[in-house]
């Protein structure tokens, strides 16, 4: 189950992200959608990086009945990414959610040797997301 906390005017359809979440985990996920300033503050506070980013993930403790964690997505990045890459905001949000969810599941593209990128590509294809999203994950 996804618990949505939308702090913006971005329209969010949880259908695709809910299917993805249900396929990959049985645990609840908190999804927070905010603006660039809020995500910048979180990035600075938790990662020591003083700039806005597209998505952050915060895993919770490993307790069976607790949520898996929180995924925070910048609505500003969703809008910009959709425009730059020529697809809808729903697809952009889904890609960022997928990226955040993989982090909650233990993947880390900053330290692995490509496992997370391969998993993203596999899931983009599996869930019928635009193929242009694969190119982005391979370039990142």
pTM for the full model? 0.89
Please report the pLDDT score of residue 113 as a whole number. 85
Domain total in the chain: 1
| Of 119, 78, 89, 77, the residue nearest 102 (C-alpha) | 119
Q: pLDDT tens across 38-69, in order?
A: 999 999 999 999 999 999 999 997 766 788 99
Rg (CA), the chain: 14
d(CA 38, CA 35) in angstroms, rounded, equals 6
DSSP 69: E
The CATH number that applies at residue 133 is 3.40.390.30
Q: pLDDT tens across 81-140, in order?
A: 999 888 899 999 999 999 999 999 999 888 888 898 889 889 988 988 876 555 555 555
Q: pLDDT tens across 29-39, in order?
A: 999 999 999 99
Residue range(s) defining the domain that contains residue 38: 2-139
Buried residues in 102-121 as b, exposed as e (16+ CB within 10 A): bbbbebebeeeeeebbebbb
């Amino acid at each position: 189950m996804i618990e949505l906390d939308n702090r913006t005017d971005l329209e969010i359809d949880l259908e695709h992200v809910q299917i993805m979440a249900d396929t990959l985990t049985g645990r609840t996920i908190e999804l927070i959608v905010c603006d660039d300033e809020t995500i910048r503050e979180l990035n600075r506070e938790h990662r020591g990086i003083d700039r806005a980013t597209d998505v952050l993930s915060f895993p919770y403790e490993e307790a069976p009945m607790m949520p898996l964690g929180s995924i925070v997505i910048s609505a500003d990045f969703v809008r910009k990414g959709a425009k730059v890459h020529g697809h809808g905001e729903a697809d952009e949000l889904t890609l960022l959610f997928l990226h955040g969810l993989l982090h909650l599941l233990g993947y880390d593209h900053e330290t692995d040797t490509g496992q997370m990128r391969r998993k993203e590509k596999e899931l983009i294809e599996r869930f019928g997301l635009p193929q242009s999203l694969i190119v982005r994950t391979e370039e990142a």
